[in-house]
Chains A and B, each alone.
Chain A
C-alpha cells in the first residue's frame, strides 16, 4: 500500500535537491563581497521608498476566505463521490441538503456583490 507512494517520496527528494543545489553551488562557487549598497532593495534606480511589508487591502482577505469555504465544500464532496453507490438515495439527499445550505450563502455573496472587484 505505502509502496505506491514511493514515487512521491522520490519526487520530494528530487524537488528538494533541485531547490537547494543551485543555492549551495552559488554559495560555494560564486564570489561573495556584499556591501550595503548591494544588499539594499533594488527599486528602479532610486532609493527604496518604504518597507515592502505594507498593509494589504482587506478585500484580498475576503476573496481568500470565500475561497476556503468553498474549498472545504469541495473537500466534503470527494469521500461522498467515492461511496455514492453504497449510500444510495439517502446519500444523495444528505449532500443535497449540505449543498443547498451552502448555495444560500453563495446567493447571498453574489447578491451582496462580494464577488465583484470594483
Chain B
C-alpha cells in the first residue's frame, strides 16, 4: 500500500504543478503542452483507482485528439501576448476577487463537510478477475442507454456544426479531378467544332 500511496502523491503533485503552469505560462502553446502533462498524470491517477478504461480513454481522446485541436485553436487565434500583459494590472483586483469567490465556492461544495473521508467508507477491494470495463459496459448500454444515444446525436450536431462553420469552397485553387478526367469522351469533350460560314481573308 505504501508504494501506491507514494505513486498517488507523485502523480497528484505532477498534475497540480502542470495545472499551475497552464495558467501562468505566457506562451499559450507551452500552456497547452502543460495541459497535456496534466491529462497524462490524471490518467495515471485513474489507473491507480483501477479505472483502466477511463484512464486510457483520457489519453486516447484528450491527449490524442482534443489537445491537437487546442493547439490548432491557439495557433489560429494568434494571441498578442504583449497587449494582454498591458491590461493585466488593471484587471488584477477584480480578477483576484472573482478567484477568491470561486475558491470559497469550491471549498464549500467539495470541502470536508460534503466529501470528507469519514463520510465515505473505503470501497471493498475487488477480486483479481474484476474488470472495470465490463461493469462500465453493462451499465452504459442498459441503464444509461438513452443518454448514450443522446451522445450520438450530440456528436452528429458537432459534425454538422463544424462543417458548416469551417468548410468553404476555394475556387481559386487548381486541382485535378481524376474521375472527371477518366470520363472524358473522345469527341465533343476535347474539341468543339463550330460551324461557321467560310471567310475570305481580307486584303491588307
Contacts and interface: CB of A to CB of B under 8 A. Distances in A.
Interface residue tally of chain B, by bracket?
A: 35 or more
B155 A72 contact: yes
B155 A73 contact: yes
A49 interface: no
A29 B156 CA distance: 56
A115 B30 CA distance: 30
Contact of B166 (A53, A62, A87, A113): A62
Interface in A20-70: 53-56, 58-62, 64-69
A27 B148 CA distance: 52
Interface residues of A, number: 49
A102 B198 CA distance: 62
A19 interface: no
Nearest to B132: A79
Contact of A60 (B7, B53, B72): B72
A83 B163 contact: no
Interface SS, B side: helix
Nearest to B153: A101
Interface in A95-118: 95, 97-99, 101-102, 104-106, 108-109, 112-114, 118
Nearest to B125: A1
Interface SS, A side: helix
A26 to B, nearest CB: 21
Contacts of B162: 61-62, 65-66, 69
A101 B141 contact: no
A104 B141 contact: no
Contacts of B61: 68, 71-72, 75
A18 interface: no
B137 to A, nearest CB: 4
A91 B142 CA distance: 8
A94 B159 contact: no
Interface of A: 1-2, 5, 9, 53-56, 58-62, 64-69, 71-73, 75-76, 78-80, 82-83, 86-87, 90-91, 94-95, 97-99, 101-102, 104-106, 108-109, 112-114, 118
12 contacts: A1-B126, A55-B78, A59-B166, A66-B163, A75-B57, A79-B53, A79-B136, A83-B134, A101-B152, A102-B155, A102-B156, A105-B160
Given A79-B141, A80-B137, 7 more contacts: A1-B128, A55-B78, A78-B53, A78-B57, A83-B141, A94-B145, A105-B160
Interface of B: 4, 7, 29, 47-48, 50, 53, 57, 60-61, 64-66, 68-69, 72-73, 75-76, 78, 126, 128, 130-131, 133-134, 136-138, 140-142, 145, 148-149, 151-153, 155-156, 158-160, 162-163, 166-167, 170, 173, 175
